[in-house]
């Protein structure tokens, strides 16, 4: 421990101590600390271990780019892995655990791996572990890999609201450039959203300080925030703008004190990117030792938290920026030595030593830094602060499709103007000076008056590059343990494209998103392959800018909200009757009534045949087709002609896809000359409507026919069975005497009432429909009359059994995506229709014309029902399937097992025995007609 | 070819790794080749390797417009499997899986094939029936598939959401033990290295501008690096294939969509299988680095832009959390998109098209990675012999005229 | 989150739309006069253009089918128009 707490500096509340532990060691910080600042001021230096070599790792930076200080944090009994110490607020009672270390960061036994580092270069695993098979080695490697540990018992709630917003101008980053942009735009009356990932506005001004327009910067910030709010805009702090998406949409993650996160989707007319820049490290030997930190981060922690990085500090740099840091640290009482690679430097601040024209070539220390070599001279120290220049945060510009250019003055890649819809300003644009940042921001906010004024700080810098000739191990990516040597090996082996470099060495793929590593890797590769940085190229920038909790993006879509099932209007009534619900085609419907499924299904099916069954048919799609062009439209869209249907009658038909595949089946009711109802199966209503709509709008005169999906408008209850007519009479309906396949519109107690005689069970059935709000009344009278006659409510399981007895298909269960109507025994229209209809031509391809197509048949087995999904084997060939069982039940009425199957050339096999295969076992079954019950259909007319 | 082994690592380790040679030679185009493959992804590189290895054709060039393995080969969720329904599909994908099983040794490059098994999880009795249909089809077709119970699924994947409030409880599903994952980049690099060692020219940053056709015969390609003469061209360029085929006047049954994949921050091992959840459409595995690698359905807008879109991200991620509520502790680290070439029946198109000497291997849609060895094997057979291999015959473009589509989603009810 | 302009409803979120087909195809008929090859091309043949594409889309919420011209790489929407239909 070399860090300490300054007695005065910082915004922490020294009257409120906060207690926590790190790797079991009790520690304390103050209210207002982050985990990082508390650990820096009073904790150990080793906070974790690196990914591959298990090298000790300490705090490096100050924000979302921190690569090392990643911790598992337990709070309130729940652990969250991989928490970034720099962005997490310290709370009383937090338990912090280092990651990738056993038993802890200080004593990690895997640290021995580092001794073998020379045998574990980049991509070593591609070259070995082949002899005994990778699976032999993989478990070992897997156990070693990974950072934190997931807490199996911690299920964060799905409580993140998704908020949609729109604004005139979105300003990303509330540092000087962003504030200036927001101020100018707000003064012009534009609605500005100003977003920053830090807890307060100001950006680097917060620790660098400064005057704007001759007053403290805080005045300017306060005025700006007021102006933004006054113009109807909004300031979002603690908010990471993490993704630029299509058509000007952006995603942001807001963290709120003691409240849920917010997932923002922001649609902006214009966007200004003022995300600043992050500091680069220096590339000397052992530059990964704990105690080596970003210079800017040291100032940040000093000024905002009073957390001082060390006492005897060496600062390595080649630019002016660290001079202010050095001055602040010296003033705070540290012994500071400045090592500047430049010969011409500004004057050294008071009270420190400066070494000009020199570089740190090596850091020394076993577990943390204790000295450095500066051009051959040994310098003892306890802390090294480094500044190798700055990397602008251009991610969002690139996410939005923007290109980059190398800017010599700032020695960085900055946005090429006009290549993305985003305007980048300030440090993110390579303008590191305060005055320049204000000027650019002001201009981007379309400020007319003069820009806010400030005295520029010195920001001159000399470019620094990793030197491949340097001796020792030089880290490029500290978390993933990629060294300069690894980049050299990649170059030597031909992995020279930046993407190959990244993938081969894992450079830039750590949880800092490569923000610390990418530029150095790129620069090193450029040097090694004798190319410019522009020639070497950059990797693609993609969302997220900073790792975002999955819980934020997932929002509240969990449980039923993930994909809400459709519910019946009469669900409460069915529940009262003992229904157990299951999902069918997106609807929650009664599966059976009672406790035991098998018993209930058999009882219900038996009762329906002997007395009557009542069931809820409301999910059946009802699409009204209205107008003089209705019949013509239906003729084209359907496989069976409907123009010949008489008003008041109903006809069963199919709707095909244009590829000739059976898409849906159902009954069409003709209510009047110009009015039909197409009943689609419950899961196909939407797609059937689209088939009709497309033909209506593309092929016909849309003014002559209109479609209206009225599925949800009606409650439909069906009474089916020998006692159905008696039940209807008892219930007090005046049932018009209409034959099977007819429909009548009438009234029941002044309520619109539709009766259709169509049957899905093979028994005489009446479908009764009333407007959905009267469903309860209909249910009540039917329930009473039905009970009196020994009828019962039947669930879908029994209904499926009843229709299977009749050989009626269920689209999607008995058919699949290759089934054509003639495979189901409906070859009539295909043979006879001369007019055009949807899917027609596809019914005559060579494949459609084959006579050994898979056809619907029945199967009769011994008493045990065949497993659905079992296959029918070709005779004498256990390696060839002829088809499969699609529906299978025990029929209580027939007192035997029944099944439907799709079998190649099935109809020609009727009467023959076949072998049925299921999961290693075989059964014998006889191919029969699909209809097993009442083949003449006499019961329909009861 | 420089031999990779534990021994060579030790030796190089002691000498500062100065002896490693380029994995593949950075070739400049020659004026003529016996065969040219357009597309330096897994399929193209595998085709080149097998042309040299199986058919002795070494005057072969692979033209890649960017860097090899940079398309869908390097943008997928790395699952390999052959849990298919139709015999034609099983023959194809199991050939691929069998080749994968020997690939590391054959190429002397560890592609990290991890056969940790894959579960397709079902949530309703109806879906379980479909799973039985697939498992039986796999067994009949000689592939290791079986039905897995809910209990076993829970045992293998303890973090699954099986609570009362779960939208999609797992009732079990189809299990294939030989399925798993492999390291995607290594497949491309391994094939490139082996092909290069056999004399194949791998030419990066080479864009094909036109196909040269004389009297109904391919005679060469025009590139940004100049013309190349050849009378055999194989297209293996995924979403770019329609544009290349159009140069020869060929229309393909392809739409291009962005398919996104996602990676979480790494954690210690928590998931030991590959899982596809029918209810959410989300699939997931955990990489050797500890990251969760997951994905879902296609973005809904056809595109050629390798860029993901937020609505699909929200759907896939909420689906993942519905399956594994504990994963809500994790953060999204990376996300990317590949442009996939989707055919109406979601099966590939392999065969001759248009002028003599032109062949395609495309239409792999969302599932091309697992088929790389087979795709290369079959396209090389076509290009070397001019005839279909029996396994590729059903996947010829003519199936659309005949109406004989090989539609797994239609046949099994499960979209792959 | 792309925004598509429905000719009937105006600009709406992409999640409300469904891609139907590439525009410009004419259904070959009557069926007996159509060869397998012509039919297959009608059903399945695409250009999948990189760049400007004309496509038929449907706005699911109102049921309007329309032709949209857009760039498949930049995702810029250039124009949209209702289907002409066939006046009788």
Mutate to test the interface with B, among C5, C12, C44, C54 (most CBs of B within 10 A): C44
The answer to whether the CB atoms of B242 and C1 lie below 8 A apart is no
The per-residue pLDDT for A384 is 98
- Cβ contacts of C11 within 8 Å, gap of 6 or more: C3, C4, C5
CA–CA separation, A691 and A4 (whole Å)? 73
Query: pLDDT tens-digit profile of A588-613?
Result: 999 999 999 999 999 999 999 999 99
Nearest CA in chain A to B20: A493
Token pair, residue A16, equals: 């409120």
> Where residue B412 falls among pLDDT bands split at 50, 70, 90?
low
What average pLDDT score do residues B38-63 get?
A: 98
Distances (CA, A) of A876 to A295, A765, A879: 79, 45, 9
Nearest by CB to residue C3, choosing from A247, A693, A836, is: A247
Structure tokens given for A877: 């060939």
pLDDT attached to residue B411: 60
**Min Cα–Cα distance to chain C from B67, Å:** 20
In three state form, how does the secondary structure of A846-878 look?
HHHHCCCCEEEEEEECCCCCCCCCCEEEECCEE
How far, in Å, CA of B6 to CA of A116, rounded? 13
SS3 A615: strand
The domains found in chain B, sorted by start residue, are 28-82+85-108+184-253+345-412 (3.50.50.60), 118-176+255-342 (3.30.9.10)
CA distance B310 to chain C (A): 6
pLDDT at residue B415 in the model = 44
Tell me how far apart the alpha carbons of residues A910 and A696 are, in angstroms, rounded to a whole number. 42
What is the four-CA torsion angle of A57, A59, A61, A66, rounded to 10 degrees?
A: 60
- Asked whether the predicted pLDDT for residue A54 surpasses 90, the reply is yes
Span A481-506, average pLDDT? 96
Q: How far apart are CA A568 and CA A583, in angstroms?
A: 11
Strands A587-593 and A579-584: antiparallel
Element (H, E) at A909: none
Give the N- to C-terminal CA distance of chain C in Å, as an integer: 39
What b/e string do you get for B132-142 counting C-beta neighbours within 10 Å, with b at 16 or more?
bbbbbbbbbbe
Q: Hey, is the C-beta of A164 within 8 angstroms of any chain C C-beta?
A: no
Q: How many CB pairs under 8 A join A and C?
A: 65
DSSP classification of residue A107? T
In this complex, do C86 and A694 lie within 8 Å of one another by their Cβ atoms?
no
Residue with tokens 């090429």: A416
* Per-residue pLDDT at A338 exceeds 70: yes
Pairing state between β A422-424 and A262-273: parallel
For residue C31, give the nearest of A249, A699, A836 by CB distance.
A836
pLDDT at A689: 96
Angle between helix axes A498-505 and A518-528 (nearest 10 degrees) is: 110
Cβ-contact A663, A655 below 8 angstroms? yes
C24 contact B CB<8A:
no
- Kindly list the partner chains of chain C, i.e. chains with 3 or more CB atom pairs below 8 Å: A, B
- Which of A146, A546, A866, A922 should one mutate to test binding to chain B, selecting the residue with the greatest count of B CBs within 10 A? A146
Q: Residue A581 and residue A563: Cα distance in Å, rounded?
A: 16
Provide the pLDDT confidence category of residue A511 given band limits of 50, 70 and 90. very high
Distance between CA atoms of residues C33 and C28, nearest Å: 8
CB A385 within 8 A of CB A279: no
As given in the structure block, the two tokens for residue B403 are 């109406």
Q: Do residues A432 and A277 touch, judged by C-beta distance below 8 A?
A: yes
d(CA B407, CA B411): 6
| pLDDT value for B416 | 41
| Residue A701 touches chain C, beta carbons under 8 Å | yes
A510-519, A529-538, A883-892, B69-78: which has the highest mean pLDDT?
A: A883-892
CB distance B297 to B281 below 8 Å: yes
Say yes or no: C72 contacts chain A, CB-CB below 8 A: no
B137: chain A residues, CB-CB within 8 Å: 871, 881, 884
Contacts of A540 in chain B (CB under 8 A): 306, 336
Query: Which of B183, B319, B329 shows the shortest C-beta gap to A150?
Result: B329
Contact A751, A767 (CB under 8 A): no
Give the chain C residue nearest B302 (alpha carbons): C72
Burial (Cβ within 10 Å: 0-12, 13-18, ≥19) of residue B291? buried
- Whether A808-941 and A465-528 are alike in CATH topology: the answer is no
Q: What is the pLDDT of residues B361-378, one digit of tens each?
A: 999 998 899 999 999 999
CA B78, B81, B86, B88 torsion: positive or negative? positive
* ω into C14 cis (within 30 of 0): no
Q: What is the mean pLDDT of residues B257-263?
A: 94
pLDDT band of residue A942 (cuts 50, 70, 90) is low
Q: Is B224 on the interface with A (CB under 8 A)?
A: no
Residue range A294-331, pLDDT digits in tens:
999 999 999 999 999 999 999 999 999 999 999 999 99
Cβ distance C31 to A845 less than 8 Å, yes or no, reads: no
User: How much is the average pLDDT of A21-31?
Assistant: 97
SS3 call for A548: strand
The answer to whether the beta carbons of residues A854 and A903 sit under 8 Å apart is yes
Residues A41 and A10: beta-carbon distance below 8 Å: no
Which residue ranges form the domains of chain C, and what is each CATH number?
A: 3-82 (3.30.2270.10)
Q: How far apart are CA A142 and CA A806, in angstroms?
A: 56
Secondary element (H or E) of residue C56 = strand C52-59
**Domain covering A566-807 in this structure, CATH number:** 3.30.1360.120
Cα B255 from Cα A415, distance rounded (Å): 33
Q: Do A119 and B413 touch (CB under 8 A)?
A: no
Helix (H) or strand (E) segment spanning residue B247: none
Sort A892 into a burial class: Cβ within 10 Å, 0-12 / 13-18 / 19+: buried
**At residue B200, does pLDDT exceed 90?**
yes
Specify the residue for token string 């309860």.
A776
Residues 242-301 in B contacting A (C-alpha not used; CB under 8 Å)? 264-270, 279-280, 286, 288-290
Interchain pair C43, A846: CB under 8 A:
no
pLDDT of residue A165: 96
Residues in chain C: 88
Are B296 and B283 in contact, with CB atoms under 8 Å apart?
yes
Which tens digits make up the pLDDT trace of A831-873?
Answer: 999 999 999 999 999 999 999 999 999 999 987 899 999 999 9
pLDDT for position C86: 72
Which tokens is A254 given?
A: 């807001």
Give the class (CATH, top level) of A162-278+392-444.
Answer: alpha beta
Strand partners, A337: A314, A353
Q: Please answer yes or no on whether A156 and B328 come within 8 Å at the CB atom.
A: yes
**How far is the alpha carbon of A532 from chain C, nearest alpha carbon, in Å?**
29
Model confidence over A27-38: pLDDT tens digits?
Answer: 999 999 999 999
ipTM of the complex: 0.97
Q: Quick check: C88 pLDDT over 70? A: no
Residues of B in contact with A869 (CB under 8 A): 128-136
Euclidean distance between CA atoms B319 and A561, whole angstroms: 11
Q: How far apart are CA B359 and CA B382, in angstroms?
A: 8
The CATH number of the structural domain formed by A465-528 is 1.10.10.1100
Note the maximum CA span of chain A.
Answer: 110
Round to whole Å and give the CA distance between A667 and A629.
19
Per-residue pLDDT, averaged over B30-34, amounts to 98
Q: Is residue B414 over pLDDT 60? A: no
- The strand pair at A621-626 and A706-709 is best described as antiparallel
Contacts of B239 in chain C (CB under 8 A): 48
Q: What is the mean pLDDT of chain A?
A: 95
A619 has which bridge partners?
none
Cβ neighbours of residue A293 under 8 Å, at least 6 residues apart? A58, A59, A60, A61, A309, A383, A384, A385, A386
Residue B288: partners with Cβ closer than 8 Å, 6 or more residues away: A138, A141, A142, A145, B112, B114, B183
Helix (H) or strand (E) holding A16: strand A13-22
> Cβ of C41 under 8 Å from any chain A Cβ?
no
Secondary structure of A174-186 as H, E, C letters = CCHHHHHHHHHHH
Size of interface A-B (CB pairs under 8 A): 320
CA–CA dist A113, B94 (Å, integer): 39
Q: How many angstroms separate the CA of residue A901 from the nearest CA in chain C?
A: 29
Residue B402 C-alpha, separation from nearest chain C C-alpha, in angstroms? 7
Q: How confident is the model at residue A1 (pLDDT cuts 50, 70, 90)?
A: low
- Band the pLDDT of A540: cuts 50, 70, 90: confident
The predicted-structure confidence for A789-815, as pLDDT tens digits, reads as follows 999 999 999 999 999 999 999 999 999
- pLDDT for position B30: 97
- Those of residues 5-34 in C touching chain A at CB distance below 8 A are 14, 18, 20, 27-31, 34
| Cβ pair B55, B159 in contact under 8 A | no
Residue in C30, C57, C85, C87 to test binding to A, most A beta-carbons within 10 Å: C85
Matching CATH number, A808-941, of 3.30.230.10, 3.40.50.720, 3.20.190.10, 3.30.1360.120: 3.30.1360.120
The answer to whether A805 and A898 are in contact (CB under 8 A) is yes
Domain ranges of chain A: 162-278+392-444, 279-389, 465-528, 566-807, 808-941
Q: Touching check for B4 and chain A: CB below 8 Å?
A: yes
pLDDT reported for residue A539: 80
Number of neighbours of residue A708 by Cβ within 10 angstroms: 12
Q: What letter would DSSP give residue A565?
A: P
Q: Measuring CA to CA, which residue among A642, A230, A811, A730 is closest to residue B126?
A: A811
CB atoms within 10 A of CB B404: 18
Rounded Cα distance between A293 and A298, Å, is 7
Q: What is the pLDDT of residues B337-362, one digit of tens each?
A: 999 999 999 999 999 999 999 999 99
Closest CA to A719 of A781, A646, A771: A781
Q: Which architecture, in CATH terms, is A279-389?
A: 3-Layer(bba) Sandwich (3.50)
In angstroms, the CA B377 to CA A481 distance is 38
Q: What is the pLDDT at residue A133?
A: 86
Instruction: Please name which of B352, B97, B156, B10 lies closest in space to residue A116, comparing C-alpha atoms.
Output: B10
Tell me the angle at which helices A484-492 and A498-505 cross, rounded to the nearest 10 degrees. Answer: 120
Best A161, A242, A550 residue to mutate vs chain B (most B CBs within 10 Å): A550
Quote the CA–CA distance of A816 and A804 in Å, as a whole number.
Answer: 16
Give the model confidence (pLDDT) of A725-778 as tens digits: 999 999 988 888 899 999 999 999 999 999 999 999 999 999 999 999 999 999
Distance CA(A242)–CA(A824), nearest Å, equals 54
> For B318, which of A249, A555, A659 is closest by C-beta distance?
A555
Q: Which chains touch A (3 or more CB pairs under 8 A)?
A: B, C
Per the prediction, chain B carries an average pLDDT of: 95
- Is the Cβ of C45 closer than 8 Å to some Cβ of chain B? yes
Q: Is A403 on the interface with C (CB under 8 A)?
A: no
Q: Is the pLDDT of residue A376 over 70?
A: yes
Both tokens of residue A240? 């990471």
| Record: contact C17-B300, CB cut-off 8 A | yes
Q: Are the beta carbons of A246 and C2 separated by less than 8 Å?
A: yes
A76 CB-near residues (< 8 Å, 6+ apart): none
* Percentage of chain A lying above the pLDDT 90 cut: 93
Tell if the CB–CB gap between C14 and B402 is shorter than 8 Å: no
């Amino acid at each position: 421990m070399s860090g300490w707490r300054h007695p005065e500096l910082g915004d922490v509340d020294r009257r409120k101590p906060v207690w926590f532990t790190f790797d079991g060691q009790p520690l304390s910080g103050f209210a207002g600390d982050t985990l990082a600042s508390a650990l820096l001021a009073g904790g150990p230096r080793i906070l974790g271990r690196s990914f591959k070599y298990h090298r000790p790792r300490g705090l490096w930076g100050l924000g979302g780019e921190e690569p090392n200080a990643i911790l598992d944090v337990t709070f309130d009994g729940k652990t969250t892995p991989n928490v970034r110490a720099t962005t997490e607020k310290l709370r009383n009672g937090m338990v912090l655990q280092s990651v990738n270390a056993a038993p802890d960061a200080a004593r990690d036994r895997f640290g021995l791996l580092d001794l073998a580092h020379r045998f574990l270069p980049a991509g070593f695993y591609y070259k070995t572990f082949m002899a005994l098979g990778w699976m032999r080695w993989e478990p070992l490697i897997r156990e070693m890999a990974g950072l934190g540990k997931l807490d199996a018992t911690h299920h964060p709630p799905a409580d993140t609201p998704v908020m949609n917003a729109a604004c005139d101008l979105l300003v990303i980053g509330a540092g000087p450039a962003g504030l200036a942009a927001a101020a100018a735009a707000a003064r012009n009356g534009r609605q500005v959203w100003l977003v920053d990932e830090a807890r307060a506005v100001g950006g680097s001004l917060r620790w660098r300080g400064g005057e704007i327009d001759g007053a403290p910067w805080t005045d300017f910030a306060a005025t700006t925030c007021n102006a933004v709010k006054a113009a109807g805009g909004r300031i979002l702090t603690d908010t990471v703008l993490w993704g630029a998406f299509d058509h000007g949409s952006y995603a942001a993650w807001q963290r709120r004190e003691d409240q849920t996160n917010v997932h923002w989707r922001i649609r902006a007319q214009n966007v200004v990117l003022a995300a600043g820049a992050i500091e680069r490290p220096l590339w000397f030997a052992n530059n990964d030792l704990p105690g080596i930190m970003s210079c800017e981060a040291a100032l940040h922690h000093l000024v905002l938290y009073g957390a001082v990085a060390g006492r005897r500090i060496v600062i390595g740099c080649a630019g002016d920026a660290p001079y202010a840091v050095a001055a602040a640290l010296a003033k705070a009482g540290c012994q500071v030595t400045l090592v500047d690679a430049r010969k011409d430097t500004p004057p050294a601040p008071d009270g420190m030593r400066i070494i000009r024209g020199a570089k740190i070539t090596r850091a020394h220390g076993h577990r943390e830094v204790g000295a450095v070599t500066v051009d051959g001279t040994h310098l003892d120290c306890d802390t090294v602060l480094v500044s190798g220049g700055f990397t602008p945060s251009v991610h969002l510009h690139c996410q939005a499709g923007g290109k980059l250019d190398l800017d010599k003055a700032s020695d960085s890649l900055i946005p090429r103007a006009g290549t993305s819809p985003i305007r980048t300003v300030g440090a993110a644009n390579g303008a590191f000076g305060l005055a320049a940042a204000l000027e650019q921001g002001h201009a981007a906010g379309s400020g007319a008056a003069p820009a806010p004024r400030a005295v520029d700080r010195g920001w001159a810098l000399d470019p620094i590059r990793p030197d491949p000739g340097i001796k020792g191990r030089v880290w490029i990516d500290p978390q993933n343990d990629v060294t300069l040597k690894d980049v050299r090996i990649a170059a030597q082996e031909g992995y020279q494209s930046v993407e190959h470099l990244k993938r081969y060495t894992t450079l830039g793929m750590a949880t800092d998103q490569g923000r610390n590593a990418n530029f150095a890797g790129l620069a090193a590769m450029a040097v090694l392959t004798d190319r410019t940085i522009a020639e070497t190229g950059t990797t693609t920038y993609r969302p997220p800018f900073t790792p975002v909790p999955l819980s934020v993006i997932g929002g509240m879509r969990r449980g039923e909200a993930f994909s809400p099932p459709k519910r019946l209007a009469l669900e409460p009534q069915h529940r009262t009757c003992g229904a157990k619900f299951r999902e069918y085609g997106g609807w929650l419907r009664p599966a059976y009534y009672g406790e035991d499924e098998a018993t209930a299904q058999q009882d219900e099916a038996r009762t329906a045949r002997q007395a009557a069954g009542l069931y809820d048919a409301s999910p059946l799609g009802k699409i009204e087709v209205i107008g003089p062009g209705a019949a013509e439209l239906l003729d084209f869209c359907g496989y069976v002609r409907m123009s010949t249907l008489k008003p008041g009658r109903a006809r069963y038909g199919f709707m095909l896809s244009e590829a000739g595949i059976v898409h849906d089946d159902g009954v069409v009711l003709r209510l009047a000359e110009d009015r039909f109802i197409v009943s689609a199966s419950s899961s196909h209503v939407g797609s059937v409507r689209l088939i009709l709509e497309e033909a209506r709008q593309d092929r016909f005169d849309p003014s002559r026919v209109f479609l209206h999906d009225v599925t949800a408008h009606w409650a439909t209850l069906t009474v089916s069975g020998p006692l159905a007519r008696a039940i209807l009479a008892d219930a007090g309906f005046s049932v018009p005497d209409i034959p099977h396949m007819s429909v009548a519109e009438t009234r029941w107690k002044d309520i619109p009432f539709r009766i259709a005689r169509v049957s899905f069970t093979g028994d005489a059935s009446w479908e009764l429909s009333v407007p959905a709000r009267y469903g309860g009344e209909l249910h009540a009278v039917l329930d009473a009359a039905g009970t009196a006659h020994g009828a019962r409510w039947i669930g879908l399981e029994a209904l499926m059994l009843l229709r299977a007895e009749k050989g009626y298909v269920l689209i999607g269960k008995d058919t699949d995506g290759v089934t054509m109507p003639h495979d189901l025994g409906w070859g009539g229209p295909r043979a006879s229709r001369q007019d055009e209809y949807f899917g027609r031509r596809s019914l005559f391809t060579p494949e459609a014309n084959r006579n050994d197509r898979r056809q619907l048949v029945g199967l009769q087995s011994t008493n045990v029902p065949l497993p659905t999904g079992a296959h029918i084997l070709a005779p004498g060939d256990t390696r060839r399937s002829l088809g499969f069982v699609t529906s299978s039940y025990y029929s209580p009425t027939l007192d035997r097992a029944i099944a439907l199957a799709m079998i190649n050339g099935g109809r020609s096999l009727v009467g023959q025995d076949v072998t049925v295969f299921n999961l290693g076992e075989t059964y014998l079954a006889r191919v029969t007609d699909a209809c097993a019950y009442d083949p003449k259909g006499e019961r329909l007319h009861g | 070819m420089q031999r990779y082994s534990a021994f060579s690592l030790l030796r190089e380790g002691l000498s500062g790794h100065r002896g490693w040679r380029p994995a593949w030679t950075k070739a400049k185009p020659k004026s003529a080749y016996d065969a040219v493959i357009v597309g330096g992804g897994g399929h193209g590189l595998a085709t080149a390797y097998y042309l040299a290895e199986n058919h002795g054709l070494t005057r072969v060039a692979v033209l890649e417009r960017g860097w090899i393995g940079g398309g869908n080969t390097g943008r997928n969720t790395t699952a390999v499997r052959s849990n298919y329904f139709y015999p034609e599909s099983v023959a194809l994908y199991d050939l691929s899986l069998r080749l994968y099983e020997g690939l590391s040794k054959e190429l002397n490059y560890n592609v990290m094939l991890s056969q940790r098994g894959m579960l397709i999880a079902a949530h309703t009795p109806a879906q379980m029936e479909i799973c039985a249909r697939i498992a039986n089809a796999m067994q009949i077709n000689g592939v290791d598939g079986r039905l897995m119970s809910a209990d076993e699924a829970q045992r293998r994947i303890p973090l699954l959401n099986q609570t009362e409030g779960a939208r999609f409880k797992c009732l079990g599903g189809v299990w294939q033990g030989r399925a798993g994952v492999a390291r995607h980049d290594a497949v491309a690099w391994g094939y490139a290295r082996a092909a290069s060692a056999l004399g194949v020219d791998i030419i990066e940053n080479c864009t094909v501008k036109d196909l040269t056709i004389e009297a109904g015969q391919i005679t060469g390609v025009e590139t940004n690096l100049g013309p190349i003469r050849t009378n055999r061209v194989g297209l293996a360029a995924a979403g770019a294939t329609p544009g290349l085929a159009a140069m020869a006047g060929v229309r393909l049954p392809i739409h291009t969509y962005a398919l996104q994949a996602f990676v979480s921050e790494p954690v210690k091992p928590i998931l030991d299988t590959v899982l596809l959840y029918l209810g959410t459409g989300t699939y997931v595995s955990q990489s050797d680095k500890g990251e969760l690698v997951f994905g879902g359905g296609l973005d809904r807008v056809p595109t050629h832009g390798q860029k993901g879109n937020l609505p699909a991200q929200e759907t896939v991620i909420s689906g993942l959390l519905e399956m594994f509520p504990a994963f809500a502790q994790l953060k999204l680290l990376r996300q990317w998109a590949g442009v996939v070439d989707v055919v109406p029946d979601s099966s590939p198109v392999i065969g001759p098209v248009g002028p003599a000497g032109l062949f395609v291997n495309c239409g792999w849609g969302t599932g091309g990675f697992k088929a790389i060895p087979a795709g290369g094997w079959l396209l090389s057979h076509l290009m070397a012999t001019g005839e279909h291999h029996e396994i590729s015959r059903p996947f010829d473009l003519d199936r659309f005229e005949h109406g004989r589509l090989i539609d797994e989603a239609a046949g099994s009810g499960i979209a792959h | 989150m792309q925004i598509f302009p429905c000719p009937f409803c105006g600009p709406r979120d992409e999640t409300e739309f469904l891609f139907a087909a590439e525009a410009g195809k004419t259904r070959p008929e009557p069926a007996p006069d159509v060869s397998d090859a012509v039919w297959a091309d009608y059903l399945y043949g695409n250009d999948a253009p990189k760049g400007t594409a004309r496509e038929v889309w449907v706005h699911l919420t109102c049921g309007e089918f329309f032709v949209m011209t857009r760039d498949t790489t930049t995702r810029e929407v250039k124009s949209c128009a209702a289907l002409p239909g066939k006046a009788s």
